[in-house]
Structure 1
Amino acid sequence: MNAIDELATNRFLDYWGLKKLPFPKVADPTNTFLHPGYDQALIRLNQLLYTREIGVVIGEAGCGKSTLLDILLSQISSTRFKIIHVPVPQNKPRELYRSISAAMGVNTSWFGADALKVVDLLTYSYIESSRPNLIIIDESHIMTPQTLSELRLLTNTKVKNEPLITLMLFGQPSLASTLKLPAMIPLAQRIGAWVTLGCFTEGETANYVDWQMKNAGSDREIFLPATKKALYRRSQGNPRIINRLGWEALHQGCLDGVDVITEELFAHVCKNLGPHLAN
């Protein structure tokens, strides 16, 4: 943050009486508002670390999958598990194997990458470190059925009579549609946990806004009840959209010199945003 940005931030915080910025783009996994579905999701995903099955987490963009993953990763000890995180998978199988290898710290550019080489890498890692392999693939919905099918070889392989990997797939609803295709049955049969994250209800949205402001240091109600209802209608309870709208409303309120965020001010803010947020 440069000096100008820091000055503007300090003025914003002083204006609203805050200690830190609310509605951050990236949540702190050690201090976050728990989505109503997080507790059960975390229990089920943690169980997979021992059953070595496949876990699938489905949710619309912005509904909290990344935050759930961050919380999960903060709970998993890297001394007990070899965590292999692929943030953006590739569509072609060979490229996916290259991404998995890269996540393990292995450069495959000089010998290429295929399923058998990756199996060898995972096997060596498991035997050498005695840590089970956990492969987490974000944005899994962009993978083609062919590429998803390739993962079956990894899930079928065993070392010392134990599955070679635990696999977790995070993605948008189209991933669920792909996994329900007939060609996906062999892979889908190995799914041990299927988690679907929804958006907030109206009441949860209000609680989330209040938590964000209190967590940032506010000791008063800045978003009026009617405003929180309007925020829910605009966002449909999507946390990412709530964060964007909440931040924009506070910024506009600071510029206008108001003490609270009214429904009228919020409506004005929405009109000046993109069409996907203004309707």
Structure 2
Amino acid sequence: MDVQDNALGSCYAALGFKSLPFAITPDTSLAFPGPQYVSAYQQLYYACMNGVMAVLSAEIGLGKTFVIRCLLRALPANVKVAYLLNPLLDPLALLRDIQAEFNAGEQPALEQASRLHHALVQRVLQGAAQGERFVIIVDEAHRLSAEALETLRLLSNLETEQVKLISLVLVGQPELERTLSMRAMRPLRERIGVWLRLQPMNRAECGAYVRHRIHRTHQDGSFAFTPAALWLLHWRTRGVPRRINLACERAVLLSSAQPETRRVTWPMVWEACGEFSRVWK
């Protein structure tokens, strides 16, 4: 995001930034090439291109959505993606949304689950014959009902002698793992070929993440966090990327009172993190 598009743009411009370094929106142009994120992206890409079922889980704020956005940008045009953001759907509504996503947003007229399932199967078979691949990505999947999960499992059965025709990616909080560990979920669980779980950044990764964001958004790279500030930042945020972004954004704005120094110090990070202490339990 360009600094001129932000109400606080003048503060960033005075510090030498050409775009916002720590916005919490998933700006894929600032993707951090940390090992676990690169690995998650590569494995999910493989799953989507080869009909493999995958699970990506993580606590709140660790970058699940960011990885998925990077994935969506990279998938080729022949891959049709149903990216479902609302998991609180009954099986009929779930099928309708998937059908609409696979048909450029056109809502199906069918109202029976069995007929919708049949129409969806025909759409996939016809598309596969023309070289298309199909991927269903469900965000917040830990909130899916057992009935919705069973509907997705039945769709994942669709295959030829060589390959699965629909890849399924479930993205959610660790509760998703507990749901899938239930005995009733065994038929679905045994189909999962890729299991991924994101972890908080360690201190070295946190520092590299901050420097990466500054390098990508600053005009000449002269702005920096002091070593003590980075140490404190990791300790207070516990390595959670969303918290790091929030704290860094506030700390950078605090540093704008001294634009000639172009650095964030330990006291600035302490004050910035203190503003979020009530919600960072």
Would you say same fold, with TM above 0.5? yes
Residue equivalent to 1:139: 140
Q: 1:254 to 1:221 in 2, by over 3 A?
A: closer
Residue equivalent to 1:59: 58
Comparing 39-48 with 133-142, which one deviates more in the overlay?
39-48
How far apart are the structure 2 equivalents of 1:154 and 1:235?
40
TM-score for the superposition, normalised by structure 1:
0.87
Counterpart of 2:92, as a letter, is R
Residue equivalent to 2:72: 73
Contact 1:52 1:163 in 2 (8 A): yes
Tell me the secondary structure at the aligned position of residue 137 of structure 2. strand
**Counterparts of 1:143-222 in structure 2 under 5 Å?**
143-158=144-159, 162-217=163-218, 218-222=220-224
Q: Deviations over 1:33-81 (max 9, x none)?
A: 12321232233223223441211111112111111112212221022x2
Residue equivalent to 2:94: 96
Contact 2:157 2:164 in 1 (8 A): yes
* Deviation of the 1:252 alpha carbon: 2.0
**Counterparts of 1:6-155 in structure 2 under 5 Å?**
8-9=8-9, 11-79=10-78, 81-104=79-102, 105-108=105-108, 110-112=109-111, 114=113, 116-128=115-127, 129-155=130-156
How far apart are the structure 2 equivalents of 1:65 and 1:115?
33
* Deviation of the 1:156 alpha carbon: 1.5
* Deviation of the 1:226 alpha carbon: 0.9
Contact 1:122 1:133 in 2 (8 A): no
Tell me the secondary structure at the aligned position of residue 224 of structure 2. coil
Tell me the secondary structure at the aligned position of residue 163 of structure 1. coil
Q: 1:5 to 1:29 in 2, by over 3 A?
A: closer
Residue equivalent to 2:270: 267
Contact 1:123 1:164 in 2 (8 A): no
* Deviation of the 1:159 alpha carbon: 5.2
Comparing 255-264 with 88-97, which one deviates more in the overlay?
255-264
Counterpart of 2:43, as a letter, is R
Counterpart of 2:214, as a letter, is M
Q: Give unpaired runs (5+ residues) of structure 1.
A: none
How far apart are the structure 2 equivalents of 1:266 and 1:274?
12
How far apart are the structure 2 equivalents of 1:132 and 1:265?
50
How far apart are the structure 1 equivalents of 2:50 and 2:212?
36
TM-score for the superposition, normalised by structure 2:
0.87
Residue equivalent to 1:224: 226
How far apart are the structure 2 equivalents of 1:76 and 1:92?
28
How high is the sequence identity, in percent, across the aligned residues? 27
* Deviation of the 1:27 alpha carbon: 3.7
